[in-house]
Structures are given as C-alpha cells and as structure tokens.
Amino acid sequence: MKKVALLIFPFLLWACASAGVYKINFAKEYSPEKVKRVAILNFNRGQDVRLSQDIVVDKFTAALVGSRFILVDRTDIKKIMEEAKFQNIESGIIDEKTRQKLQQLGADAILTGTLHNYSESKNPQNMITYAEAYLTAKLLRVETGEILWSAEIMKNSKMTNVGEKKKMGIIGGESEAESAGKLLDEIISDMGDSFKEKKNILKKIF
C-alpha cells in the first residue's frame, strides 16, 4: 500500500483547473473565409469585476494577430465609441450611424462580449486557494447585426493537497490554484482558435 501511495501523491500536488461551462456555437453559414476585417470593441464587465476592459481587448488582439483576420486599429475604434452609443451592441442591435462608421473602417464583423467573473481567493499565506474566470463573447456581422459565432466559457481552479501534509505525514505542502489571469488567457485562446478554424466543438459542458 505504501508503494501505491508514493506513486499517486505527486499528482496531488498540482493545482486542478477545470471548465465549468464550455459552449461554442456557429451560425450555419459561418465560415472564417467570409470574415476579413474584425473590430474588437470593449467588453462589458460584471458588477464585481475590476479588471480593465482594455486588458480583455488586448488579450483577444494578441490571440488573433497573425491569423487570417485583419484587425481594425484600436485608435479608430475608440473614436467611434466616443461618438456613438454602444448600449445595445451585445444584444446584436447596431444603430445605423454606428454601422456606417464601422463600414467606413472596412469592418465586416465586430467582436464583443462580457467578462462576468474574474476573481481569486487567497489564504493567510497569500496563496491562491480558488480562482475563476467566466467570459461570453459574440462575433456580429456589421451589415446585418447577425450573430455569426458565440461562446461561453467558465473555468476555475482550486488549491490541491489542502490539509494533506499533516494527515499523511509527508514533506511538502499545498499547491496553489492557477491565477484568474492564466484562466482568462486559456479561455481567450480557446475562443480565438475556435472561430479562426471553426473547430468541431459546438457544445461542450463539463
């Protein structure tokens, strides 16, 4: 029995990250080849989320750089956002004035969404005991407001081996959870890869 415990224990030291929700959907006629120029708008934030909206945009920009898509310059997007109201943009409603300005920039699709949760809990030793990131996003056709692609992913990570040090009489300690920042990076990477390649993951819940 002791030999078996020694073989299993090293795996208990690593933080456990899991996907609580993983959904990716495409419009029937969606094809990456039909989307040429994408404008990434500010993402909404949940009530308790303090992470800057610019960080989410920057992460999506990094994920799409080098892909088949041409990204509209962020400076141009900010100018439009100062002049037009984007109150209903996430629901797929694009007012005519905004539509015209986006088309003038050559954008045929916009990417936006909501960061619903971005949180971490720490113990007195300042180790992350739990982290969670929950993001939804949509790719909308500028001309019609039609949703071409949508995704909803929530990932969390928990500290492992909690309390096992004393109970098992071993040398070592708890392994802290992955940071919320790392979880968000993974989510955005998954989302970006999916609509770049139209992966076959239409609906997946863990």
Q: Which residues contact 72 (CB under 8 A, 6 or more apart)?
A: 37, 38, 39, 40, 102, 105, 106, 107
Listed by start position, the domains of the chain span 16-196
pTM: 0.81
Greatest distance between any 2 Cα atoms in the chain:
72
pLDDT digits (tens, 9 = 90+) for 51-86: 998 999 999 999 999 899 999 999 998 888 777 655
The DSSP bridge partners found for residue 105 are none
Token pair listed for 68:
């088949």
Using CA atoms, how far residue 67 sits from 71, 96, 181, in Å, is 10, 29, 23
Per CATH, which fold does 16-196 belong to? Rossmann fold (3.40.50)
pLDDT digits (tens, 9 = 90+) for 148-194: 999 999 999 999 876 555 444 444 567 899 999 999 999 999 999 99
Q: Which residues contact 107 (CB under 8 A, 6 or more apart)?
A: 37, 38, 39, 72, 142
Please tell me the distance from the alpha carbon of residue 176 to that of residue 158, in angstroms, as a whole number.
7
